[in-house]
A and B are shown apart, each in its own frame.
Chain A
């Protein structure tokens, strides 16, 4: 039972354009959502997060949007840079359990 899904295994965008990565979840108990970026041979690096009481959180070039009614969140990267090329994981947690449930990841390639 995949509670967190990233349906696009890969995404390719041109440098300077917007990258939009999507994530869907099924468990309504999730109350905190995170995005991690992972380069080969490194561990996941925390990027940005959002609490379920908000619908938007912004940090520099990165913005996360949460649509609770649709159980959907998205990460926007504007403008995209070649250094953003990595695997992006969406993760969700419920305060009561504390564990992170991850999606399968989306590989982003930003072309110069």
Chain B
């Protein structure tokens, strides 16, 4: 059974650019959530996808968008990057109806 994998591990972008982060969910999991973790803080919920449909969204602007594919892998896209977008982005997967989410190692995004 493979765990949650994220790519890339690190990324450096400049303000105004766009970025795409990728996540492969754990085998058998049909629900993916994305979180942003700023330094010294707990992860903050961005949005969740269940069977390719958005299933809840946190307090993030529309320039944060996502996709889930038929194999349940997912992408997080961020447009018009701002300096405050610098953070660790975490992907978590779960089986629909279950409470426990399993996390990947994250992508560290630095916006200069």
Our verdict on whether A and B bind, yes or no, reads: yes
Where the two chains meet, the residues of A that have a C-beta atom closer than 8 Å to any C-beta of B are: 4, 6, 32, 34, 36, 41-46, 49, 51, 89, 91, 93, 95, 97-105
Nearest residue (CB) in B for A5 is: B42
Where the two chains meet, the residues of B that have a C-beta atom closer than 8 Å to any C-beta of A are: 4, 6, 31, 33, 35, 40-45, 48, 55-56, 58, 90, 92, 99-106
Q: How far is the CA of A36 from the CA of B6 in the complex (A)?
A: 19
B99 touches A93 (CB 8 A): yes
CB distance from B38 to the nearest CB of A (A): 10
Q: Show 14 A/B contacts (Cβ-Cβ < 8 Å), sorted by A.
A: A4-B42, A36-B103, A42-B105, A44-B103, A46-B101, A91-B42, A97-B56, A98-B33, A98-B48, A99-B48, A99-B56, A100-B33, A104-B40, A104-B42
A46 touches B100 (CB 8 A): yes
B104 touches A43 (CB 8 A): yes
A102 touches B44 (CB 8 A): yes
Point out the residues of chain B lying under 8 angstroms from A42, CB to CB. Answer: 105
B42 touches A41 (CB 8 A): no
A89 touches B43 (CB 8 A): yes
